[in-house]
Amino acid sequence: MIAVNPSAARYHIVHETIYSYDSPVSLSRQLLHLTPRECAWQRCLAHQISVAPEVTTARERHDCFGNPVRELTIEFPHDSLSVRAESTIEVLPHLPVDALTVLMGGATTNAGEARPPQPASSPRYLRASPAWETVRDALAYGSRPVLLDASCFQFESPYVRVKREFAAYARPCFTPGRPVLEAVQALMSRIYNEFEFDPEATTVATPVLEVLAEKRGVCQDFAHLMLSCLRSQGLAARYVSGYLLTHPPPGKPRMVGADASHAWVSVYCPGLEGGRWVDFDPTNNLLPDTQHITLAWGRDFSDVSPLRGVILGGDAHELDVAVTVTPVSETCAEAAAVNASQP
C-alpha cells in the first residue's frame, strides 16, 4: 500500500512510438529513454514498456547521467516497430510556496495551446539567490570546492553552443549583482515573449544559432537556446526531458495522444540548501512543479532522446508518436463513468 501525499499529483502516462518501414529492416538497435527517473520529488509507481515485434535482446542499465535506459535489438526482418511506455507517476510539490505565484493557468507543450500571462514580479525565493557573478566564479576553474556535478553541464554539447551571440542575448537580463535565479527567470521571460511557438519552423537538426536568428521553434529549441545563453554566461544548466499536463478546452474530454513529450531546463544554484537545481520552462514561462513529470536529464536532447536507434534497411519510414498524460483522479472518474453506464 502506497501512502498518498494529499498535495501530490498522480499521472498515468502513455508514450507510444510507431515506425512503419517501406521495406523490411533486417537489424535494429534502439536506446530508449522512456523510463522516468526517480527524484526526491517524484516516484514511479508503475512502469512497463512493451515492444512489437518481440525483441531479440533487451537490457536495462543507467546512463552516465543516472537516467534509466533500455537497450534493445531486433535481429530479424520486420516491417514496423512499436514501443509503448506506460507509467504511473507521483509528483510532490517542490517549489517554495511563494515561488508558486509564478505558476499560472494553462501550459504549452509541443502540441501547442494557451499561454499564460507573464508574472508581475519575481518571488522572494528567486530574489534570495546569490548574485549571478558569484555563481559563475564558483564554477570557474581554481575555485574551491570543485563542483563537478555541475560543471559537466557547463560547456558546449552537440545541440548547445557557447558563443558571443548567446552571451549578448542574455546580457540585458544579467545586470551586475542580480540574483542568479531572478536573472534566469528574466531570461526565460525574454525568450517566452520574443520567440514564437512554431512546430513547422524547425527540425531536430536546426542549429541553435538559427533558432536565435529566426526567433521561432518548439520546446526543445527554446530549451537549447536558453542552455546556450546560460552556459555562455559561465553557468551550469542541464536539459530536462519529460511530460507536461495539458488542459483540454473547457467542457471537452481529454484527447488521447494529443500531448507530446516536453523539455525544459534546470539551472545549478549553489548556496540554496547547499546547492540545488532549479527548473525553468521557457516554453511556458513558468517554474515547473507538480504539472511537470521528469523523464531524464542530460547535456541536451542528444543525451536523452526518447528513442535513438540505428537500422539496417527499411528505405523510407513513417513515424507516429502519441503521448497521453492523464491525472489519475480522472482515470478513476472515467472508470466510474464506464461502470455507471453499464446496465
Residues engaged in binding other proteins (CB under 8 A): 17, 19, 26-27, 29, 31, 56-57, 63-64, 71, 73, 75, 110, 141-142, 144, 146, 148, 151-152, 154-156, 162-164, 167, 204, 220, 260-261, 299, 301-303, 305-314, 317, 319, 321
Report the residue number, 184 or 304, with the smaller CB distance to other proteins: 304
d(CA 179, CA 201): 34
Q: Least distance in Å: CB of 27 to other proteins?
A: 7
Q: Least distance in Å: CB of 310 to other proteins?
A: 4
The Cβ-side half-sphere exposure at 248, using a 13 Å CA radius, reads 13
CB 132 within 8 A of CB 178: yes
Report the residue number, 129 or 261, with the smaller CB distance to other proteins: 261
d(CA 262, CA 219): 6
Report the residue number, 74 or 91, with the smaller CB distance to other proteins: 74
Report the residue number, 115 or 308, with the smaller CB distance to other proteins: 308
Q: Least distance in Å: CB of 321 to other proteins?
A: 6
Q: Cβ contacts of residue 338 below 8 Å, gap of 6+? A: none
Q: Least distance in Å: CB of 89 to other proteins?
A: 20
CB 12 within 8 A of CB 328: yes
CB 162 within 8 A of CB 155: yes
Report the residue number, 190 or 224, with the smaller CB distance to other proteins: 224
Q: Least distance in Å: CB of 314 to other proteins?
A: 7
C-alpha cell at 43: 516516484
> Beta strand pairing status for 262-269 and 237-244?
antiparallel
